[in-house]
Amino acid sequence: MFTGIHVPLITPYGPDGEVAFDALGKLADHVLGQGASGLVALGTTGEVAALTPDERSRVIETCAAACRERGVPLTVGVAGNDTRSVGQALKELPGGVDAALVTVPYFLRPSERGVIAHFEALAEETPVPLVIYHIPYRTGQAVSAATLRRLGAHPRVAAVKYAAGGVDQDAVDLLGDLPDGFDVLGGDDAFISPLLALGASGGIMASAHLATDAFAELVTAWRAGDVTRARTLGHRLARLSAALFAEPNPTVIKGVLHARGLIPTPDVRLPLLPASAESVSQADLVTVHPGE
């Protein structure tokens, strides 16, 4: 399920500030048509914290329809740092969801034993496989390779989205000794190429809203052992990612998507503000095509 590039979709808004569900469906179909292996709904890139419960439900429905038509998996973000509430949210996931992206408990900063207990409890009751979201610069919680390896041995824990801010020693240790059936997905866009070189299965890449086909080819090149091609693509895509993250995610991505006519407005909801025209213009100039 977790090979290739999975795109954590933005949530487009219309001129009235409401979610543009038609545009969301078209965008989902666009990135899947360009080679994405799956979608992620209700992630940070989708501004999930700014959506109402009804909007969240309709986002899932829209993305599930696009994934069902293409025969690819849909992963849904499930937020929370309390084990009971996250467990309940997992049980309430609708049909058409193939996996849940669950963040390491944030703000509370439990011990690693607490992190293990949290995910093991969720794994015992979840209706869908879990993807651990390891992002310590947002959660304030470090998780070692040993902890991830132990959790990955559970049959209901399918993968980890690894976003440690770089390729650290734990990433090297984890990828050097993975449990059977446990995948590592890159979560820091600029570092996806070196993670793939180390053995990651793919990535959950906000940058892959743009140059989706090139990101997909990057995975193919590393898996095929085409090192020269993979390095060239990886360097170019890292420059694209840097430009797209020049301001808080997903503001620049939305600006470029709007400039290219793929969404009706570049708008975001407070506390985010739209990206500057300069950042959008600079990112729009960075183009990466497969086969170059």
According to the annotation, is 251 in a ligand binding site?
no
Closest alpha carbon to 3 in 229, 200, 214, 224? 200
Query: Binding site annotation covers 287?
Result: no
Known catalytic membership, residue 133: yes
Catalytic residue among 13, 91, 137, 161: 161
> What is the C-alpha to C-alpha distance for residues 3 and 37, in angstroms, rounded to an integer?
7
Tokens linked to 213? 């086909």
Contact 217, 246 (CB under 8 A): no
What is the gyration radius of the CA atoms in the chain, in angstroms? 18
CA distance 63 to 66: 5
DSSP per position, 145-175: HHHHHHHHTSTTEEEEEE-SSS--HHHHHHH
Give the chain's length: 292
Identify which of 76, 80, 84 has the alpha carbon closest to the alpha carbon of residue 125: 84
Tell me if residue 137 is catalytic.
Answer: no
- Determine which one of 13, 26, 106, 133 is catalytic: 133
8 A C-beta contact, residue 250 and residue 274: no
Q: Which two tokens stand for residue 270?
A: 């407070």
Q: How many CB atoms lie within 10 A of CB 94?
A: 10
Angle subtended by helix axes 112-125 and 145-152, to nearest 10: 20
How far apart, in whole angstroms, are the C-alpha atoms of residue 262 and residue 12?
A: 9
Nearest to 60 by CA among 30, 89, 17: 89
Just list the catalytic residues: 133, 161
Binding residue numbers for pyruvate: 45, 204
Binding residue numbers: 45, 204
